[in-house]
Amino acid sequence: MKIRVRNLNKSYHLHPVLALQEAEFGAYELEGLIGPNGAGKSTLMGLLTQRIPPTSGNIWFDIDGHEHNLRTMRVHEVARLGLVKTNQRIQGFESLSIRDSLRLAATAHSQETLRGVLDKNQIDDDIESEIDHYLSLFSFSNPNGYALSGGEKKLLDILRCLVLKPRMLLMDEPTAGLPDDITQQVMRLVVEKARAQQMRVLIVEHDLELIWSFCDYVHFLSDGEMLFQGTPENVKKNRVVAEKYMGV
Protein backbone atom coordinates (compact mmCIF):
# COMPACT_ATOMS: atom_id res chain seq x y z
CA MET A 1 0.00 0.00 0.00
CA LYS A 2 1.74 3.11 -1.20
CA ILE A 3 1.05 6.45 -2.79
CA ARG A 4 3.77 7.54 -5.15
CA VAL A 5 4.00 11.11 -6.37
CA ARG A 6 6.18 12.42 -9.15
CA ASN A 7 6.71 16.01 -10.31
CA LEU A 8 3.50 17.07 -8.66
CA ASN A 9 2.85 20.78 -9.01
CA LYS A 10 0.02 23.03 -8.03
CA SER A 11 -0.09 26.75 -8.68
CA TYR A 12 -2.85 29.28 -8.28
CA HIS A 13 -2.60 32.12 -10.80
CA LEU A 14 1.03 31.25 -11.57
CA HIS A 15 1.85 31.35 -7.87
CA PRO A 16 3.29 27.93 -6.97
CA VAL A 17 1.81 26.39 -3.85
CA LEU A 18 3.27 22.94 -4.08
CA ALA A 19 6.17 21.41 -6.00
CA LEU A 20 7.03 17.83 -5.15
CA GLN A 21 9.63 16.08 -7.29
CA GLU A 22 9.30 12.67 -5.79
CA ALA A 23 7.56 11.46 -2.67
CA GLU A 24 6.08 8.32 -1.20
CA PHE A 25 3.40 7.94 1.44
CA GLY A 26 2.12 4.84 3.14
CA ALA A 27 5.33 2.83 3.38
CA TYR A 28 4.85 2.82 7.17
CA GLU A 29 1.72 2.08 9.14
CA LEU A 30 1.38 5.58 10.56
CA GLU A 31 2.96 8.61 8.96
CA GLY A 32 2.87 12.25 9.88
CA LEU A 33 2.95 15.30 7.64
CA ILE A 34 4.03 18.48 9.39
CA GLY A 35 5.04 21.96 8.37
CA PRO A 36 4.29 25.63 8.97
CA ASN A 37 0.99 27.24 7.98
CA GLY A 38 0.78 27.69 4.23
CA ALA A 39 3.33 24.95 3.56
CA GLY A 40 0.85 23.16 1.31
CA LYS A 41 -0.16 20.28 3.58
CA SER A 42 -3.89 20.52 3.01
CA THR A 43 -3.32 21.22 -0.68
CA LEU A 44 -1.28 18.04 -0.93
CA MET A 45 -4.08 16.04 0.70
CA GLY A 46 -6.60 17.61 -1.66
CA LEU A 47 -4.38 16.67 -4.61
CA LEU A 48 -4.00 13.08 -3.43
CA THR A 49 -7.77 12.60 -3.24
CA GLN A 50 -8.28 14.46 -6.55
CA ARG A 51 -10.49 17.03 -4.87
CA ILE A 52 -8.03 19.62 -6.16
CA PRO A 53 -6.81 19.15 -9.74
CA PRO A 54 -3.01 19.41 -10.03
CA THR A 55 -1.34 21.82 -12.43
CA SER A 56 0.95 19.03 -13.54
CA GLY A 57 2.40 15.74 -12.34
CA ASN A 58 1.27 12.26 -11.53
CA ILE A 59 -0.01 10.31 -8.54
CA TRP A 60 -0.07 6.53 -8.36
CA PHE A 61 -1.84 4.46 -5.75
CA ASP A 62 -0.21 1.07 -5.37
CA ILE A 63 -2.55 -1.64 -4.08
CA ASP A 64 -0.96 -5.07 -3.63
CA GLY A 65 1.50 -4.45 -6.43
CA HIS A 66 -1.12 -3.09 -8.80
CA GLU A 67 -0.69 0.59 -9.67
CA HIS A 68 -3.63 2.92 -10.25
CA ASN A 69 -3.09 6.31 -11.80
CA LEU A 70 -5.19 8.69 -9.73
CA ARG A 71 -4.74 11.61 -12.17
CA THR A 72 -7.41 10.20 -14.47
CA MET A 73 -9.92 9.51 -11.71
CA ARG A 74 -12.77 11.49 -10.22
CA VAL A 75 -13.21 12.08 -6.49
CA HIS A 76 -15.65 9.23 -5.92
CA GLU A 77 -13.47 6.77 -7.85
CA VAL A 78 -10.49 7.57 -5.64
CA ALA A 79 -12.65 7.00 -2.57
CA ARG A 80 -13.84 3.67 -3.96
CA LEU A 81 -10.22 2.59 -4.33
CA GLY A 82 -9.92 3.05 -0.58
CA LEU A 83 -8.14 6.41 -0.35
CA VAL A 84 -10.22 8.51 2.01
CA LYS A 85 -9.68 11.82 3.78
CA THR A 86 -11.16 13.30 6.95
CA ASN A 87 -11.85 17.00 6.75
CA GLN A 88 -10.06 19.81 8.50
CA ARG A 89 -13.07 22.10 8.49
CA ILE A 90 -16.38 20.79 9.74
CA GLN A 91 -18.38 19.10 7.02
CA GLY A 92 -21.66 17.27 7.34
CA PHE A 93 -25.13 16.42 6.04
CA GLU A 94 -27.39 18.57 8.17
CA SER A 95 -30.60 16.68 7.36
CA LEU A 96 -29.15 13.24 8.06
CA SER A 97 -29.08 11.86 11.58
CA ILE A 98 -25.87 10.40 13.00
CA ARG A 99 -27.01 6.89 12.15
CA ASP A 100 -28.18 7.78 8.64
CA SER A 101 -24.94 9.58 7.97
CA LEU A 102 -22.96 6.46 8.94
CA ARG A 103 -25.36 4.22 7.01
CA LEU A 104 -24.81 6.36 3.94
CA ALA A 105 -21.05 5.89 4.20
CA ALA A 106 -21.33 2.15 4.82
CA THR A 107 -23.78 1.42 2.01
CA ALA A 108 -22.30 0.11 -1.21
CA HIS A 109 -23.03 2.25 -4.25
CA SER A 110 -24.44 -0.77 -6.06
CA GLN A 111 -27.38 -0.68 -3.67
CA GLU A 112 -28.16 2.99 -4.21
CA THR A 113 -29.88 2.50 -7.54
CA LEU A 114 -33.39 3.06 -8.86
CA ARG A 115 -34.01 -0.67 -8.74
CA GLY A 116 -32.86 -0.67 -5.14
CA VAL A 117 -35.79 1.62 -4.31
CA LEU A 118 -38.08 -1.39 -4.64
CA ASP A 119 -36.08 -3.47 -2.17
CA LYS A 120 -38.32 -4.43 0.71
CA ASN A 121 -35.51 -4.59 3.20
CA GLN A 122 -33.60 -1.33 3.27
CA ILE A 123 -31.83 -2.12 6.53
CA ASP A 124 -28.68 -4.17 6.37
CA ASP A 125 -27.95 -5.96 9.65
CA ASP A 126 -24.19 -6.10 9.11
CA ILE A 127 -24.06 -2.36 8.67
CA GLU A 128 -26.29 -1.78 11.68
CA SER A 129 -24.16 -3.85 14.02
CA GLU A 130 -21.02 -2.09 12.83
CA ILE A 131 -22.62 1.30 13.41
CA ASP A 132 -23.79 0.18 16.86
CA HIS A 133 -20.22 -0.81 17.59
CA TYR A 134 -18.83 2.62 16.68
CA LEU A 135 -21.58 4.45 18.54
CA SER A 136 -20.89 2.38 21.64
CA LEU A 137 -17.24 3.47 21.58
CA PHE A 138 -18.02 7.19 21.59
CA SER A 139 -20.54 9.12 23.59
CA PHE A 140 -22.75 11.33 21.45
CA SER A 141 -25.25 13.38 23.43
CA ASN A 142 -27.98 11.70 21.40
CA PRO A 143 -26.65 8.83 19.28
CA ASN A 144 -30.05 8.31 17.64
CA GLY A 145 -30.42 11.98 16.80
CA TYR A 146 -28.29 14.57 15.08
CA ALA A 147 -24.68 15.64 15.64
CA LEU A 148 -25.09 18.85 17.59
CA SER A 149 -21.81 20.46 18.58
CA GLY A 150 -18.83 21.17 16.38
CA GLY A 151 -16.95 18.43 18.20
CA GLU A 152 -19.64 15.86 17.47
CA LYS A 153 -19.69 16.84 13.82
CA LYS A 154 -15.93 16.49 13.58
CA LEU A 155 -16.05 13.09 15.29
CA LEU A 156 -18.84 11.98 12.96
CA ASP A 157 -16.71 13.05 10.00
CA ILE A 158 -13.90 10.75 11.15
CA LEU A 159 -16.28 7.86 11.92
CA ARG A 160 -17.83 8.17 8.45
CA CYS A 161 -14.37 7.63 6.97
CA LEU A 162 -13.65 4.64 9.24
CA VAL A 163 -16.97 3.02 8.30
CA LEU A 164 -15.82 3.15 4.67
CA LYS A 165 -13.02 0.73 5.65
CA PRO A 166 -10.34 2.66 3.79
CA ARG A 167 -7.08 1.14 2.63
CA MET A 168 -5.39 4.41 3.36
CA LEU A 169 -6.77 7.13 5.61
CA LEU A 170 -5.63 10.73 5.31
CA MET A 171 -6.42 12.78 8.41
CA ASP A 172 -6.32 16.57 8.04
CA GLU A 173 -5.85 18.03 11.53
CA PRO A 174 -7.97 15.52 13.44
CA THR A 175 -7.46 17.31 16.76
CA ALA A 176 -8.72 20.72 15.59
CA GLY A 177 -12.17 21.14 17.10
CA LEU A 178 -12.13 17.87 19.05
CA PRO A 179 -11.99 17.78 22.85
CA ASP A 180 -8.76 16.21 24.18
CA ASP A 181 -10.32 13.03 25.59
CA ILE A 182 -12.15 12.32 22.34
CA THR A 183 -8.95 12.94 20.36
CA GLN A 184 -7.18 10.34 22.47
CA GLN A 185 -10.04 7.86 21.92
CA VAL A 186 -10.03 8.48 18.17
CA MET A 187 -6.27 8.12 17.92
CA ARG A 188 -6.31 4.90 19.95
CA LEU A 189 -8.88 3.45 17.53
CA VAL A 190 -6.98 4.63 14.45
CA VAL A 191 -3.66 3.31 15.74
CA GLU A 192 -5.26 -0.02 16.62
CA LYS A 193 -6.59 -0.39 13.07
CA ALA A 194 -3.27 0.64 11.54
CA ARG A 195 -1.30 -1.81 13.72
CA ALA A 196 -3.75 -4.56 12.77
CA GLN A 197 -2.83 -3.85 9.12
CA GLN A 198 -6.40 -2.84 8.31
CA MET A 199 -5.27 0.49 6.89
CA ARG A 200 -2.37 2.89 6.52
CA VAL A 201 -2.66 6.38 7.97
CA LEU A 202 -1.20 9.76 7.05
CA ILE A 203 -1.83 12.53 9.58
CA VAL A 204 -1.49 16.27 9.10
CA GLU A 205 -1.26 17.85 12.51
CA HIS A 206 0.07 20.88 14.36
CA ASP A 207 -0.09 19.03 17.69
CA LEU A 208 3.47 17.71 17.50
CA GLU A 209 3.16 15.62 20.67
CA LEU A 210 0.56 13.55 18.83
CA ILE A 211 2.87 13.15 15.82
CA TRP A 212 5.89 12.14 17.95
CA SER A 213 3.93 9.63 19.99
CA PHE A 214 2.03 7.85 17.21
CA CYS A 215 3.90 8.17 13.92
CA ASP A 216 6.55 5.83 12.56
CA TYR A 217 7.75 8.25 9.93
CA VAL A 218 7.39 11.99 9.44
CA HIS A 219 7.41 14.18 6.33
CA PHE A 220 8.30 17.83 6.75
CA LEU A 221 6.82 20.17 4.18
CA SER A 222 7.74 23.84 3.88
CA ASP A 223 6.93 26.37 1.17
CA GLY A 224 5.51 23.62 -0.99
CA GLU A 225 8.64 21.49 -0.89
CA MET A 226 9.51 18.34 0.99
CA LEU A 227 12.47 19.50 3.07
CA PHE A 228 13.06 16.53 5.29
CA GLN A 229 11.74 13.02 5.92
CA GLY A 230 12.63 10.51 8.58
CA THR A 231 11.77 8.91 11.87
CA PRO A 232 10.36 11.20 14.56
CA GLU A 233 13.71 11.18 16.39
CA ASN A 234 15.59 12.31 13.31
CA VAL A 235 13.05 14.96 12.44
CA LYS A 236 13.15 16.32 15.99
CA LYS A 237 16.91 16.60 15.80
CA ASN A 238 16.98 18.14 12.35
CA ARG A 239 18.18 21.74 12.24
CA VAL A 240 16.12 22.81 9.24
CA VAL A 241 12.91 21.62 10.87
CA ALA A 242 13.84 23.32 14.11
CA GLU A 243 14.55 26.63 12.39
CA LYS A 244 11.65 26.65 9.99
CA TYR A 245 8.97 25.26 12.20
CA MET A 246 9.62 24.87 15.86
CA GLY A 247 11.03 28.35 16.20
CA VAL A 248 14.17 27.31 18.03
Q: Rule CB under 8 A: which residues touch another protein?
A: 49, 51, 74-76, 79-80, 84-85, 87, 89-96, 100-101, 103-105, 107, 109, 111-114, 116-119, 122, 146, 148-151, 160, 164, 176-177, 179
The distance of closest approach from Cβ of residue 199 to another protein in the complex, given in angstroms and rounded to an integer, is 15
Q: How many angstroms separate the Cα of 205 from the Cα of each of 79, 90, 162, 241?
A: 22, 16, 18, 15
Is the alpha carbon torsion for 242, 244, 245, 248 positive or negative? positive
Nearer to another protein, 29 or 205 (CB): 205
The distance of closest approach from Cβ of residue 225 to another protein in the complex, given in angstroms and rounded to an integer, is 27
The distance of closest approach from Cβ of residue 87 to another protein in the complex, given in angstroms and rounded to an integer, is 8
Distance CA 157, CA 173 (A): 12
The distance of closest approach from Cβ of residue 248 to another protein in the complex, given in angstroms and rounded to an integer, is 29
**Neighbour-count burial of 155, counting CB atoms closer than 10 A to its CB (0-12 exposed, 13-18 middle, 19+ buried):** buried
CB contact set of 217 (below 8 Å; sequence gap of 6+) = 27, 28, 30, 31, 32, 229, 230, 231, 232
E strand or H helix that includes residue 30: strand 30-34
Nearest to 225 by CA among 12, 33, 86, 83: 33
Nearer to another protein, 46 or 224 (CB): 46
The distance of closest approach from Cβ of residue 180 to another protein in the complex, given in angstroms and rounded to an integer, is 12
Nearer to another protein, 56 or 91 (CB): 91
- Structure letter (DSSP) for residue 182: H
Nearer to another protein, 19 or 48 (CB): 48
The distance of closest approach from Cβ of residue 237 to another protein in the complex, given in angstroms and rounded to an integer, is 33
Nearer to another protein, 75 or 242 (CB): 75
- Structure letter (DSSP) for residue 21: E
Nearer to another protein, 63 or 227 (CB): 63
